[in-house]
Amino acid sequence: MGIQISPSLLACDFAHLAEEAARVSNADWLHVDVMDNHFVPNLTLGLPIVEALGKASSTPMDCHLMIEDPDRWAPAYVEAGAGSVTFHVEAAAAPVRLARELRAKGARAGMGLKPATPIEPYEDLLPELDMLLVMTVEPGFGGQAFLDMCLPKIRRTRELIDKHGLDLWLQVDGGVSLETIERCAEAGADVFVAGSAVYKADDPNAMIEDLRASAAATL
């Protein structure tokens, strides 16, 4: 599979979403942060915007749901056009059932962990997933500093994935930049969400390539 870069639209100009998506045309995914002001203290965008964005861009959407009751809402994001949907295990009532439903609808099923949530209790769930997201900042706001304390958890997660021989992507989200991506890749991550680093760059597409090269150099 190799290294994948998923620019976070949270850092873009929301008034021009279609144009902002076009500025990262060589991205592997568009990372769409959905926040409900309940699970996290911020409110962003929801289903109608995701559906419209899917029609405006050919880049597949990676929807990260930072919302309460994902068991109810997550499947609708597949119907809205998302190719990958990540729910938070801290909010899901039945994560296995939800992951299976997302897969049955044709999307990749992802499960997210906050920085303080350990991976070990969920080892048996890993075969039900297509991606595991380790948050490297507290979810809710972009532009936060990378939390180095999450690196050991990334390593432990990669060890568990390898232990079970799974084709499971390991994503990191939060504070990813040219200064931090190599550490994440060395720890075992292979899918990288980058918001400010990409959208604040003079040339977002060039930054995506620089991030990809920096991560690939650790392989």
Active site residues: 33, 173
* Phi, psi for residue 18 in degrees, rounded to 5: -65, -45
CA distance 119 to 66: 18
* Strand partners of residue 133: 112, 171
DSSP 121: G
Task: Indicate the pairing of strand 4-7 with strand 191-194.
Answer: parallel
* Complete edge-to-edge strand list for the sheet that includes strand 169-173: 4-7, 191-194, 169-173, 131-135, 108-113, 84-88, 61-66, 30-35
Q: How many CA atoms lie within 13 A of 193 on its CB side?
A: 33
CB 153 within 8 A of CB 133: no
CA distance 189 to 169: 8
